[in-house]
Amino acid sequence: MKRIGVGLLGFGTVGGGVYNALQSQEDVILKRTETLFEVRSILVKEKEKERAVKGVQSLITTDFDRVLEAGVEVIVEAIGGTEPARMYVERALEAGCHVVTANKELMAKHGVQLERLARDRKVQILYEASVGGGIPVLGTMGHFLKANRVHRISGILNGTTNYILTRMSREGVSFAEVLAEAQQKGYAEADPAADVDGFDAVYKLAVLCRLAFETEVPVGQILREGIRDITPEELELARKLGYAVKLLATGEQYGEKGPVSLGVGPTLLPLSHPLAGVDGVYNAIHLEGDVVGDVTLVGRGAGEKPTASAVVEDLCNLYRLPSPRLPLSGEPLLLPAGEAGGSRFIFMKLRDREVPEPEQLCRSLEGIGLEVVDAVSAHGGVAFILRRWDPSHTSIVVPEPGLELSRITSRPIQGVNLSQERQPEMEGVV
């Protein structure tokens, strides 16, 4: 049996969850890995604060040097944010300690430098919990899709926004109402910007695409749009057309080592798509590989136990699985995400609430050369799908139908009707 000393940085939801998981799962971990992980020091801001977990006061310190001096071989970073987390992680790596972190912002903004430092010091930095909470997506990509070129990633990477959109769609309540309730339940922070404005999903997408496409894209260059302007009426009309609206993170690479397109924003998915039915606080990642085809992973993307599970699995894998060492090909050519081509969902809110018949609207739009796939109307609004979208179409659409609009919104559409696409493949299969 090996005994591994662990230093824990932070003792909030994630740090406390890791400590509890190491205690409750000790027999399982020991049986399967022949390793005992012992938390020997815990770094906090306030030493005298009362802790919900009993028996840890002797391990508490506010001095990072005391953590390194406690005979630790692994540092678990559960502070969050970039500073002082980055400084502590760098010092741990320089001291020859392995690092496990759940910090998506840190790994999105400084991951390349930290992995380089870990390689130079011949230690590992693992960060499964930084994307998707308890969903083992990084391990799947790094260890079980080695023979594949992953050319597209689509993901619901934020449970808070998915919960809000689910409630709005099912119950017809406003964004503001659901957000307030989510904050009361603890699903959303007092300042919800990181979630509802798409920053959280951008950090996770940057980490995913670095691993999938072997290239680094600065987070500031990833297209980002949040969900604050979505209304229940828009969600209802999208569903009538056969689509669900999700805050979707998408990344695509066009050819091996080719240009990439990355973006986060409200996107329509056919109801048959694997991600369309992922509701509530759940996260999901859909991978498309050249050999394996489609792979979808679904699970809880946040919370004490799912995140702690991913951190503890990384601890176990430090001594059982080699860390993937992927060379990066530098900054790629970035293509605009969702600017032109494909189909587009257009939602128009009307001032006078005199809603035109969908057939009438289709004829009007087709008369100016636009190709309308389908149209629906209800509750003072109208929505339709345009094929072969171009951004200039917005300025064309507004004046032509002769409608008094209070707002107009366009959303990208992604995915296909998988059940229809795969039906021919199943013919002849007994």
Cα(101)–Cα(103) distance, integer angstroms? 5
Residue 204 annotated in active site: yes
Contact, 1 vs 29, CB < 8 A? no
Q: Estimate the crossing angle of helix 159-171 against helix 175-185, to 10 degrees.
A: 130
- Helical spans, DSSP H, in 221-330: 232-240, 304-317
- Helical spans, DSSP H, in 243-333: 304-317
**Which residue is catalytic, options 109, 204, 246, 349?**
204
User: What are the Cα distances from residue 304, in Å, to 18, 20, 295, 326, 384?
Assistant: 8, 10, 26, 30, 42
Residue with the two structure tokens 């001032």 = 351
Cα(153)–Cα(346) distance, integer angstroms? 24
Cα(285)–Cα(297) distance, integer angstroms? 5
List the one residue out of 148, 158, 234, 236 whose CA is nearest residue 192: 158
Can you spell out the DSSP letters for 21-78? HHHHTHHHHHHHHSEEEEEEEEE-S-TTS--SSTT-GGGEES-HHHHHTT--SEEEE-
Q: Give the dihedral sign, CA 166/169/171/175.
A: positive
Contact, 218 vs 367, CB < 8 A? no
Q: Looking at residue 130, what DSSP letter applies? A: G
User: Mind telling me the catalytic residues?
Assistant: 204
